[in-house]
Amino acid sequence: MAGDTKHQWFWEALESFLGHHQLKQTKQRQVVIRHFLKLDRHVDADDLYGSIRKAGYNIGLATIYRTLNLLKEAGLVEQRLFADGRASYELLIPNLHHDHLICTTCGKIVEFENKEIERLQAQVAAEQRFTLSSHRLELYGLCARCNRTL
């Protein structure tokens, strides 16, 4: 119902999660999530709040945080912590993991995926007898543009 076709899998997963946990579908949740999906990448609570407010809704910041935490619980979203103390959230697409290349000057983020690196990670974990559940890889440096400008 609230789902566009592009994110149908997401709404289905959410519905399933809500169902299995006797949680409820609400107007506000739908608005928050719709805006989250629209903003698409690396969204923080304030971005969402602004976007939602600009669209004419009056939804409390608390509800936004609660919704983001819900999505995190549901495993649909990943929380990412930044040095300035803010947390940003990213849509977690199943089986479509990627890592980040981050420009330390302009903040540009390039996503990438490298099967070979992942394979080696699994190998390292196995050597230490860890059962891997997830990982985070971030490469920091200057993007081509900033490298030129500086």
Partner DNA sequence: TTCAATGCAAACACTTTGCAGTCGG
Partner DNA sequence: CCGACTGCAAAGTGTTTGCATTGAA
Point out which residues bind DNA (CB under 7 A): 18, 22-29, 44-46, 58-63, 65-69, 84-87
**Rounded-to-integer distance, Cα 13 and Cα 6, Å:** 13
Sign of CA dihedral 46, 49, 52, 56: negative
| Residue 37 binds its own copies (CB under 8 A) | no
Task: Using CB under 8 A, pick the residue from 55, 93, 120, 149 that binds its own copies.
Answer: 120
Nearer to DNA, 40 or 73 (CB): 73
| Residue 28 binds its own copies (CB under 8 A) | no
**Rounded-to-integer distance, Cα 62 and Cα 116, Å:** 41
Contact partner, 58, from its own copies, DNA, none, Cβ < 5-8 Å per class: DNA
Contact partner, 9, from its own copies, DNA, none, Cβ < 5-8 Å per class: none
Contact partner, 142, from its own copies, DNA, none, Cβ < 5-8 Å per class: its own copies
Residue 50 CA: distances (Å) to CA of 30, 43, 137: 16, 11, 29
Nearer to its own copies, 96 or 150 (CB): 150
Residue with tokens 């959230």: 89
Residue with tokens 């910041």: 61
Count of beta carbons in the 10 Å neighbourhood of residue 39: 17
Q: How far is the CB of 61 from its own copies (least distance, A)?
A: 17
Residue with tokens 């495993």: 75
CB 52 within 8 A of CB 60: no
Residue ranges binding its own copies (CB under 8 A): 79, 81-83, 85, 101, 103-104, 110, 112, 114, 116-117, 120-121, 124-125, 128-144, 147
